[in-house]
Structure 1
Amino acid sequence: MSRTLVIAAHPDEPEIYAGGTAALLARAGHAVKFLTLTNGDAGHHVMERGPLARRRAEEAWRAADALGVVDYGIFDIHDGLLEPTVANRLRVLAEIRAWRPDVVIALHADGPGHPDNRAAGRLVEHAVAFCTTRNVEAGKPPLARQPVCLVMTDYASLGFHEPDLAVAVDPVIDAKLDGCLAHASQFLEYAPWQRGFLDKAPAEGDVAGGRAFVEEYWREFLVADERARPLLEKQYGADRAAGVRYAETFKVAEYGRQVGEGELRDLLGIFG
């Protein structure tokens, strides 16, 4: 069974951008870890940094339980202050070496949007370059080979994200939605306040209402779009793909170990 490491900038991003794939991997017996490179302590309109960071860590572990993720690491870096420095690169390198993943899923390194997100993508790209290099010290032994790396979309990369792979997540959509709802500070409070629909947010604990709310307002990260459709047909066949409603898409990164389509399918093991 494979080991997967999903690396993002803030708690709640692995869940909405790759939570379904993580849940499928977990159900197939793979070990999945989430890692965020900031603690998310800027993301609220009412709470102060310290209490918010503690709350978001608690939410992260509830999300992990919903998805079957076995570990959730959060760097002690303030939200909004992540930089692609050598020191942070070595921290990411140490995490990759410690988890020893077969697959790394990361954010796009270039483009618009939150500077933390782009910095997180760049840090992963640069860390992977040295994960097998013996003489680059990071406190953990080097890997025997580089992981296969996939790039997930985020809110700012939707316009230029060009996926190579689509994963049907219908069997685990409730787990993905519940993983998002575990981050109540974001999906029921801060993001609705930012985007002007806080008055429509259901109460925390309203599972059915919460799932419907996330699906309505985060639809672009849940429902298969026109870019996913031909990839779904390729992966699952036309008949099965026609019945798919929910999907996540990934681009095979230009960095990391390069594999053919068949080896990638076998490595993930979730397309049967």
Structure 2
Amino acid sequence: MISSLVAWLFNLIARLPLSALHRLGAALGRLTYRLSDKYAERMRENLGHAWKGRPQADFRKVLNASIVETGKGAAELLWIWCRPLAEVTASVKACYGWEHIEAARARGKGVIFLTPHLGCFDVSALYVAEHMPLTVLYRPPKLIWLEHVMRSGRERAQLRLARTDVGGVRQLYKALKRAEAIGLLPDQVPGNGEGEWADFFGRPAYTMTLIGRLVKSSGASVVMTSAERLTHGSGYILRFTPLDFVVDLPISRQVNAALEELVLMNPAQYLWSYNRYKIPAGIKPAITQDVNPI
């Protein structure tokens, strides 16, 4: 009952143009930042550590832009999930690096898309799923009614979701064995025993080891993916960058380094409010961390 009511409400709101939803999201982002001290502190702290050694004026500029972009990211999900698939994928105005995907598929192996919390990661998944089967690992929301709405909005075209549990990971292995594509959030904090400490912007971040295991077992190509949000709700730009790993270095460390480069290309659209440096239950902290922002 609740799921149906929420779905109806979401579909109603999603009738608004993307530009209008972005304006509403911007206001929501500013309001959330002002009302939630914990939220605001985490944004400043995470961005502050990444911005060490850079001009203070630029830090403030990026922080203010990020507050707005984070709100846009929340509001646009209604449009991405509820609008017709053709309309959503048509919002992609440019796509750079797709030739790397075609080359990877020509090898006869699977493709691992690493899509961090940057820009509109949902639109990139739907765009890929229009071209090939794609299994995406996701963490179910705590609200049961929201999962139903989310799955109906995401599981379209050739996109399938796999939960962050043993069964979901098994789905990823099977998809790669079929030479299909899978998607992961490389900066999502894994559970106890599923990660290792690797620096991310100079701080230890518990980082998933699943990527390395999948690469070694399948020989799949790895591609970093991002979807830049354009101004005035005019759409998105997708970028696909292949990653080639050095054999003797931990893959988790190399993924974080590549992610840092990607984030610094568009820092305002990274989700600095995400609790990236969370210490999972049962995990011993790497070191004592300096949590003071700039």
TM-score normalized by the length of structure 2:
0.27
TM-score normalized by the length of structure 1:
0.28
Structure with the greater relative contact order (CA < 8 A, sep ≥ 6): 1 or 2? 2
Bigger proportion of residues as helix: 2
